[in-house]
Amino acid sequence: MSASTEPLIERPDDRPRPIRAAAAGSDRVFRGVLRGGGAAVLAITGLIAFFLIWRASSAFRQVGWSFLSTGIWLPDQNRFGVGSVLPNGLFIALIALVIAVPIGLMTALFISEYAPHRIRSALVSVVDLMAAIPSIVYALWGVFFLQPEILGTVRWVADHLGFIPFLRVPGGDTPSFFTSSTFMAGLVVSLMVIPIVISISREVFAQAPQGEREAAYALGSTKWGMIRTVVLPYGRGGMIGAIMLGFGRAMGETIAVSLLISPVWTIVTHVLATGGMSIPALIALRYGESTPEMIAALMAAGLVLFAVTLLVNALAGIIVTRSRSGAQTS
């Protein structure tokens, strides 16, 4: 049989014919138009960066590097910066992640591994719907329903776990000490992060290979043992990517934070106490101030936010794509 694999007739010049597709004129135009479409998307991103940098440059010239360290926001006195706004926004995003990631990952596991087939697609639809609900509607719910509901529990935590430094609420005697806090903002933002975490991680969980799953069962694993040794390791990249995309979303959430928060200009040390801020909320609350210097300062803040989220999202994108590399063809 081995003889049949050899060519019947020896021909030294038998190599594949070079295939060269000479594109017709119409195809060249077609590809040009498509390239134009791709270039337009790139151009828009470039334009965003260009216009933000250009409009923010006067603000950067005014205050220089102290823009990153100044906490207060007084553009008319030449004292402004993201020194407190950026970390406070980070705190809100981190709290949102602390709440959203466990709930999101657990729900994703339930949908992909445990949910009966009949209700699985319905659950997926519900999660998609959750992602489609406008953030302003979440904000309404958070401010008018969730905040009053949860105030008592927050107060209880502050009273009884106050020995942990950042959970203390100094002078917290009345409920007004606990509203509009960094924690409340993070809680509402977490509702918008949950669907992102669910949908991305559910996708990668579902891609865990069937053979390895069955191998785990054949070795006598329980369901959870199979998930722990097969599904979670395969989904690790996707989970990290989902968390980072959720983080980007939480950093950029505007409306809920600006409706809920009461602004402070120092770095928040007690997350349960009133006060907090984030860059998008700052822009939304202050854009009405129409002097050019103030607008330039807001543009500078926007530029910082743009840079941070673009970086986080690009990293997340790379991690998610890598994690899918085995499953994806073409």
Residue 245 CB, nearest distance to another protein (Å)? 6
Q: Which is nearer to another protein, 199 or 274 (CB)?
A: 199
Residue listed under structure tokens 């953030």? 135
Q: Which is nearer to another protein, 72 or 129 (CB)?
A: 129
For residues 184 and 134, give the distance between their C-alpha atoms in angstroms, rounded to a whole number. 19
How would you classify the pairing of strands 79-80 and 73-74? antiparallel
Q: Which is nearer to another protein, 1 or 41 (CB)?
A: 41
Query: What is the dihedral sign for C-alpha 46, 51, 52, 58?
Result: positive
Q: Which is nearer to another protein, 116 or 165 (CB)?
A: 116
Residue 48 CB, nearest distance to another protein (Å)? 5
Residue 144 CB, nearest distance to another protein (Å)? 7
For residues 132 and 225, give the distance between their C-alpha atoms in angstroms, rounded to a whole number. 34
Residue 213 CB, nearest distance to another protein (Å)? 14
DSSP per position, 115-146: S-HHHHHHHHHHHHHHHHS-HHHHHHHIIIII
DSSP per position, 77-105: GTEE-STTHHHHHHHHHHHHHHHHHHHHH
Measured between its terminal Cα atoms, the distance across the chain in Å is: 34
Q: Which is nearer to another protein, 269 or 289 (CB)?
A: 289
Residue 291 CB, nearest distance to another protein (Å)? 12
Please give the single-letter amino acid code of residue 5. T
Residue 1 CB, nearest distance to another protein (Å)? 32
Please give the single-letter amino acid code of residue 124. V
Tell me the sheet residues that pair with 181. 274, 275
Q: Which is nearer to another protein, 69 or 144 (CB)?
A: 144
Residue 111 CB, nearest distance to another protein (Å)? 7
For residues 203 and 214, give the distance between their C-alpha atoms in angstroms, rounded to a whole number. 19
- Coil, strand or helix: which one is 180? coil
Q: Which two tokens stand for residue 286?
A: 């202050």
- Coil, strand or helix: which one is 181? strand
* CA angle at 40 for the pair 36 and 41, rounded to the nearest 5°: 125
- Coil, strand or helix: which one is 253? coil
Q: Which is nearer to another protein, 1 or 97 (CB)?
A: 97
Q: Which is nearer to another protein, 79 or 286 (CB)?
A: 286
Residue 3 CB, nearest distance to another protein (Å)? 34
